[in-house]
């Protein structure tokens, strides 16, 4: 049976495995910067053309990192992948490697703040024209994508408001003019990611999120066709020092063993919480792509089998009510990451999105009453009881 015909869970455990001469069961951690050559001739040869199992320097590649890259490519459905030190190194690498002065990039407006910085403050500085659109509006994409558009960038599910983009539509319109589509797929999770299936050319993932999923590691990966990944993407990333370190790659590999189990348990619990909160009298609105009341529910369910692990809602009474709610929670911890095994609560308007100008907060729907929950691996009954008692305190 080839790797291609295997299921995702088998691939998560075995994909890309390379064994040393010792035949170790668990993936080996090659904590080495460099590699030695038997002869001067062998060194010369490797610098001319390194074979698939030959390495030169860990900034270019390392056996443990390569295992992680091959496994990520296999589970996301892409030919190849390059692993990076963080999700932002992956986003920056993909955008910088694939654009040049005079290019036109269209992106959805509801982006992670650092992604917006790379587009508006870095790429724009080098003469790349950026057009931002309301990602949920197919007509807005149609109007913004031009004959000279070269790249399209979007988050399939936005953070923190959980807007869902009709990826198949955006890919179709982009490919008509020859533009490449880059999807930032942190929120969708590698288990439910539909980027490859919908035809996205490149998928970037912050593996800090669900892949590590236990609050320890920063990491990222750029996935795509082999020509692009081992061409412009690798060239840019290896020369600019974005490589993932072997220790982080090893922790990530061990995390992939349980990724499917963790994400399914977290997403199942998130749905349960969203359903229970939907009718709560103290909440103005509950947003979860898995709820029939979500504005893009049908699109979301046609692209993934789950609404994911994050739930957002609005509490009547603004900041004061939210803070009372956050401070009353006993199991949910107040933090700003998501996709952790520990459940997390975030007040985006005063933390992760504090610096956004008010006008932009208004456009994106980041109000003072908005709360984001990242659902972890605790007992669903305990999490529900915690949320209900904290809402009583509001
Ligand atoms: C977290 C996140 C990133 C950045 O990832 P880091 O690993 O923190 O650098 C980029 N995009 C999205 C959508 C994210 O959620």
Residue whose CA lies nearest to ligand 1 atom number 4: 87
Do 172 and 304 belong together in one domain?
no
Task: Verify that 249 and 317 share a domain, yes or no.
Answer: no
As for how many domains the chain has, the answer is 2
Determine whether the shortest distance from the Cβ of 91 to ligand 1 is under 6 A.
yes
Which ligand 1 atom sits closest to the C-alpha of 185? 13
Residue 121 per-residue DSSP state: I
Is the CB of residue 208 less than 8 Å from the CB of residue 218?
Answer: yes
- Regarding beta strands 129-133 and 344-346, do their DSSP bridges make them parallel or antiparallel, or are they unpaired? unpaired
Q: What is the mean pLDDT for each group of 10 consecutive residues in the chain (394 residues)?
A: 75 95 96 96 95 94 98 96 98 98 97 92 96 97 98 94 95 98 92 93 97 96 98 97 98 97 97 96 93 95 92 95 97 96 97 90 93 98 98 93
Domain check: are 82 and 197 in the same one?
Answer: yes
pLDDT of residue 113: 87
Q: What is the pLDDT of residue 40?
A: 97
Same domain for 143 and 235:
yes
Q: How far is the CA of 114 from the centre of ligand 1 (A)?
A: 8
Whether 83 is in a domain gets the answer: yes
Q: Domain for residue 2, yes or no?
A: no
**Shortest CA distance to 330 belongs to which of 282, 271, 389?**
389
Give the CATH number, domain containing residue 60: 3.40.640.10
Residue with tokens 């390059």: 82
Instruction: Answer whether residue 208 is part of any domain.
Output: yes
pLDDT value at residue 197: 94
Query: What Cα–Cα distance (Å) separates residue 391 from each residue in 184, 223, 280, 327?
Result: 33, 41, 9, 11
> Does 226 share its domain with 176?
yes
Q: Report the CATH number at residue 373.
A: 3.90.1150.10
Q: What pLDDT score was predicted for residue 264?
A: 97
Residue nearest to atom 5 of ligand 1 (CA): 87
| pLDDT score of 326 | 98
Nearest CA to ligand 1 atom 2: 206
Q: Which residue's CA is the nearest one to ligand 1's atom 13?
A: 186
Quote the ligand 1 centre to 87 CA distance (angstroms).
Answer: 5
Is the dihedral angle over the CA atoms 187, 190, 193, 196 positive or is it negative?
A: positive
The residue segments making up the domain with residue 326 are 259-391
Q: Do 233 and 275 belong to one domain? A: no
**Residue 109 forms part of a structural domain:** yes
CA of 153 to the centre of ligand 1 (A): 14
Residues 291 and 240 in one domain: no
Quote the pLDDT of residue 4.
Answer: 62
Residue 115 near ligand 1, beta carbon < 6 Å: yes
Contact between 265 and 308 under an 8 Å Cβ cutoff? The reply is: no
Q: Is residue 302 part of a domain?
A: yes
Q: Is there a single domain that holds both residue 366 and residue 236? A: no
CA distance 374 to 340: 7
Q: How far is the CA of 19 from the centre of ligand 1 (A)?
A: 31
Residue 209 alpha carbon, nearest atom of ligand 1: 1
Last residue of a domain, one of 256, 278, 297: 256
Confirm or reject: Cβ of 80 under 6 Å from ligand 1. no
Q: Does residue 112 line the site of ligand 1, with CB under 6 A?
A: yes
Residue 32 lies in a domain: yes
Do residue 37 and residue 176 come from a single domain? yes
Helix, strand, coil distribution of the chain in percent, nearest 5: 40, 15, 40
The last residue of a domain, from among 197, 228, 256 = 256
Whether the CB-CB separation of 201 and 169 falls below 8 Å is answered with no
59 and 112: one domain?
yes
Q: Where are the alpha helices (DSSP H) in the chain?
A: 8-14, 40-48, 63-76, 87-97, 113-117, 138-144, 167-176, 189-192, 226-228, 234-240, 246-256, 259-278, 297-303, 318-328, 358-364, 380-392
pLDDT for 263 equals 97
Rounded to 10°, the helix 380-392/259-278 angle is 40
Q: Tell me the CA–centroid distance for residue 185 and ligand 1, in Å.
A: 9
Residue whose CA is at the smallest distance from ligand 1 atom 8: 87
**Same-domain pairing of 302 and 154:** no
Closest residue to atom 14 of ligand 1, CA basis: 186
pLDDT of residue 1: 45
CA 186 / ligand 1 centre spacing (Å)? 6
Are 244 and 387 in the same domain? no
Residue 41 class from Cβ within 10 Å (0-12 exposed, 13-18 middle, 19+ buried)?
exposed
Ligand 1 center from residue 219 Cα (angstroms): 9
66, two tokens: 């390569």
Between the CA of 337 and the centroid of ligand 1 the distance, in Å, is 9
- Going by alpha carbons, the residue nearest to atom 6 of ligand 1 is 87
State in Å: Cα 99 to ligand 1 middle.
20
Nearest-atom number in ligand 1 for the CA of 220 is 7
In a domain, 41, yes or no: yes
**281 falls within a domain:** yes
Q: Answer with the one of 256, 290, 322 that is the final residue of a domain.
A: 256
Q: According to the model, what pLDDT value does residue 267 have?
A: 97
């Amino acid at each position: 049976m080839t790797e291609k015909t295997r299921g995702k869970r088998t691939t998560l455990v075995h994909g890309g495995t390379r064994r040393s001469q010792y035949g170790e069961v668990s993936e080996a951690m090659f904590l080495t910067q460099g590699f030695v050559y038997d002869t001067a001739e062998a060194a010369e040869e490797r610098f001319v053309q390194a074979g698939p199992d030959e390495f030169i320097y860990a900034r270019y590649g390392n056996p443990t990192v390569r295992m992680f890259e091959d496994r990520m490519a296999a589970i996301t459905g892409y030919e190849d992948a390059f692993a990076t030190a963080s999700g932002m190194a992956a986003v920056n690498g993909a955008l910088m490697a694939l654009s040049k002065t005079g290019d036109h990039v269209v992106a959805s407006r509801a982006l992670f703040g650092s992604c917006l910085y790379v587009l508006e403050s870095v790429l724009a500085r080098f003469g790349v024209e950026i057009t931002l659109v309301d990602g949920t509006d197919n007509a807005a994409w149609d109007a913004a994508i031009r004959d000279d558009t070269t790249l399209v960038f979007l988050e399939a599910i936005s953070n923190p408001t959980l807007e869902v983009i009709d990826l198949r539509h955006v890919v179709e319109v982009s490919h008509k003019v020859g533009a490449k589509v880059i999807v930032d797929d942190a929120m969708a999770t590698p288990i439910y990611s539909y980027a490859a299936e919908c035809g996205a050319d490149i998928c970037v993932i912050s593996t800090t999120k669900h892949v590590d999923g236990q609050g320890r590691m920063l990491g990222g990966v750029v996935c795509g066709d082999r020509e692009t990944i081992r061409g412009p993407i690798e060239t840019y990333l290896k020369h600019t020092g974005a490589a993932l370190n072997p220790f982080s790659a090893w922790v990530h590999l061990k995390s992939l063993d349980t990724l499917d189990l963790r994400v399914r348990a977290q997403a199942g619990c998130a749905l349960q919480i969203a359903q229970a909160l939907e009718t709560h009298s103290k909440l103005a609105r509950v947003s979860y792509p898995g709820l029939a009341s979500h504005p893009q529910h049908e699109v979301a369910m046609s692209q993934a089998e789950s609404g994911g692990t994050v739930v957002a809602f609005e509490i009547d009474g603004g900041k004061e009510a939210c803070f009372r709610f956050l401070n009353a929670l006993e199991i949910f911890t107040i933090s700003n990451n998501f996709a952790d095994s520990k459940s997390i609560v975030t007040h985006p308007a005063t933390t992760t999105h504090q610096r956004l100008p008010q006008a932009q907060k208004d456009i994106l729907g980041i109000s003072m009453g908005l709360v984001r929950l990242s659902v972890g691996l605790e007992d669903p009954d305990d999490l529900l009881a915690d949320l209900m008692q904290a809402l009583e305190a509001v």
